[in-house]
A and B are shown apart, each in its own frame.
Chain A
Amino acid sequence: MNTTNQAINYPPRDKNAVENVIELIGNTPLIKLQNITKDLNPKVEIYIKAEWFNPGGSVKDRPALKMILEGISSGKLTRKKLIMDSSSGNTAISYAMIGAALDYKVEIVVPENVNIERKKILDAFGANIIYSDPLESSDGAIRLARKLYKQHPEKYFMPDQYNNPANPLAHFETTAPEIWRQTKGKVTHFLAGIGTSGTIMGTGQGLKKFNKDIKILAVEPAEALHGLEGMKHMATSIVPGIYNESFPDEIINVKTEDAYQKMKELLDTEGIFVGHSGGAVMHAAKEYAKKLESGVLVALMPDGGSRYLSGGLWW
């Protein structure tokens, strides 16, 4: 009796039921870091946007959903077509999940060296996987997807995440207003990695609509050969059509080992397990914050660390 009453008196935290898993995409939590920030000026706060809370496990659910919905609504994606695109992994998983949820078949081109977690998840969602040359990395997957599409345009709906304006638009419409609301308009700096550049371009432009003084900081791997899955070293990569390199206020280069180190620090000091690119963005946020006297930094963490376990934990 007593326990029942206690349960009833608990403040309600549950959301309304949804009718499809894709309705849970977005509205991810914002977490204020408490320990990793201790040596900073007390007026400097760092928050992380926890994108691994998306049902597909990464930030890529947002653009994948927007691109697929645009495809259905414009009539470009019909029931006779397969959803086909290249991805370094996370977008592929988002397509596979959304495809399964809406009953569309999905075919994905990924570099053959994509890790076993991603392969198994794609397989579990029933996606057809085509492997591209591992030595050519995500650019090889882009080229192979374009070739497949050219051969059979009637067979495929290719969202083309590197060139589709719906990719940054998803962030402009969802990620940016969420951050603005969650920080009650106090955000001063936004940091995200560059892969397709959809996150930095869309969220950045969205935030600048709220307050043009918000600084947009793009994070890039320091080396051409890096271990930061999903991120692009622009100088040596196919530059995405949606990217405008003069848009970010600053570009911060991060070394792979510094990124891995920050992953470990987030685990140890905050109990938060982010992926490689999240480690890179966190490293950039911390280094940048050291120079500030005050500020509210929001660093976007694209995915969680459990997607990288097979790489071995090196600490």
Chain B
Amino acid sequence: MDNMENLNNIKIDQRIDITNDICPMTFVKTKLKLETMNAGQVLEVTLREGEPLSNVPKSVKEDGHKVVSICKSEDVFKVIIEKH
């Protein structure tokens, strides 16, 4: 995957796990979490592949936030988002 990055240098401010949620709860939880954060802060979202992986980063970008990286961690994915 070409958008993988080494995440060791990034400071994570908040984390959420949406691996047990289905669409559209997956994106809504991410969106509502971002609303509580300050611009420039970083959120790590743990999610499943398939629908959440294809939709959540896309919708987050549409809302103007920056998807810093997406990386696989065992069975799940970790999406790093910087709040706009």
- Residues of A whose CB lies within 8 Å of any CB of B are 69-70, 72-73, 75, 79, 102, 173
Contacts and interface: CB of A to CB of B under 8 A. Distances in A.
B35 A72 contact: no
Nearest to A72: B28
Closest 9 CB pairs of A and B: A73-B24, A69-B24, A72-B28, A73-B27, A69-B28, A73-B28, A70-B24, A69-B25, A72-B31
Contacts of A73: 24, 27-28, 31, 59
Nearest to B22: A173
Contacts of A70: 24
A17 to B, nearest CB: 12
B10 interface: no
Classify the secondary structure of A's interface with B. Answer: helix
A149 to B, nearest CB: 22
A75 B24 CA distance: 12
Number of chain B interface residues as a range: 10 to 19
B55 to A, nearest CB: 9
A65 to B, nearest CB: 8
B32 interface: yes
Contacts of B24: 69-70, 72-73
Given A72-B32, A73-B27, A75-B63, 8 more contacts: A69-B24, A69-B28, A72-B24, A72-B28, A72-B31, A73-B24, A73-B31, A102-B32
Nearest to B24: A73
Contacts of B27: 73
A102 B29 CA distance: 10
Contacts of B63: 75
17 contacts: A69-B24, A69-B25, A69-B28, A70-B24, A72-B24, A72-B28, A72-B31, A72-B32, A73-B24, A73-B27, A73-B28, A73-B31, A73-B59, A75-B63, A79-B35, A102-B32, A173-B22
A72 B31 CA distance: 8
A63 B62 CA distance: 26
Contacts of B31: 72-73
Contacts of B35: 79
A173 B24 CA distance: 12
